Amino acid sequence: GLSAKMSVHIEKQFFVSVDGGLQWELMPSLGHDERGYCAKIDGMLTDQRSFEYTVLKDAALEPAEDEEEVAPPPRAEDDGDADDAGDEEKPPKSRLRKIGELTRVAFLIECIDRETAVVPRGSYVLTATETVEKNMTFEGLSREQAGSLRNYMHFRRSETLDAKSLLDQEHLSKSLDFLDSLVEDVPPGC
């Protein structure tokens, strides 16, 4: 059977052009907090590398700090101007978080890759040290195998393997069946 504590790591790198295709740089890697904030941003990309989105800070996404949070200074008393009565109150800058356009692009690429990167079963193997390597003996799928979804796997860390019963895991090969099969996909809304 398969170990429920497997820590499979599949390393991928993505690049972004800095000048229209002549020079490239590595996309930034994202932290848990950046993924959470990017997931909260709606709307189109701006195509402006220096653009920054502003989102409200979320305590659940912020890294733990040893220091206590300092309360914002009290606001000045309202001087009674009628013009200010309809203005919405803006949160203090200390409660806002900036997310750059490039960070958001990296997040969207990561999301698309997570859902769409697919490899044939057996083209990658899990070694005894739990590293993922290209299977040098893989020669491709037969015509019959190529027509079956069960022979294609998501090229990402498994999201369903731990949920399988021991009976279901019994017939799986640890070195080949460490990824999620496309057969198990259920489209959202179904």
Give the model confidence (pLDDT) of 100-142 as tens digits: 999 999 999 999 999 899 999 999 988 888 788 899 999 999 9
- The Cα–Cα gap between 16 and 177 comes to 32
Confirm if 92 and 46 have CB atoms less than 8 A apart.
Answer: no
SS3 176: coil
E-strand stretches of the chain:
15-17, 24-26, 52-56, 96-100, 118-120, 124-126, 132-134, 152-154
- The Cα–Cα gap between 113 and 12 comes to 10
Give the model confidence (pLDDT) of 26-53 as tens digits: 998 999 999 999 999 999 999 898 999 9
Give the model confidence (pLDDT) of 72-87 as tens digits: 444 444 444 444 445 5
Residue 2: band (very low, low, confident or very high) from pLDDT cuts 50, 70, 90: very low
Element (H, E) at 166: helix 166-170
Confirm if 132 and 101 have CB atoms less than 8 A apart.
Answer: no
Q: How many CB atoms sit inside 10 A of residue 62's CB?
A: 13
Query: What pLDDT does 67 receive?
Result: 41
Query: What pLDDT does 30 receive?
Result: 92
Confirm if 136 and 130 have CB atoms less than 8 A apart.
Answer: no
Q: What percent of the chain has pLDDT over 70?
A: 71
Query: What pLDDT does 41 receive?
Result: 94
pTM: predicted TM-score of the whole model, two decimal places: 0.69
DSSP letter (8 states) at residue 73? P
Nearest to 108, CA basis, from 30, 186, 8: 30
What average pLDDT does the chain have? 78
Give, in order, the Cα–Cα distances in Å from 134 to each of 63, 100, 117, 159.
36, 34, 15, 21
Give the model confidence (pLDDT) of 96-105 as tens digits: 899 999 999 9
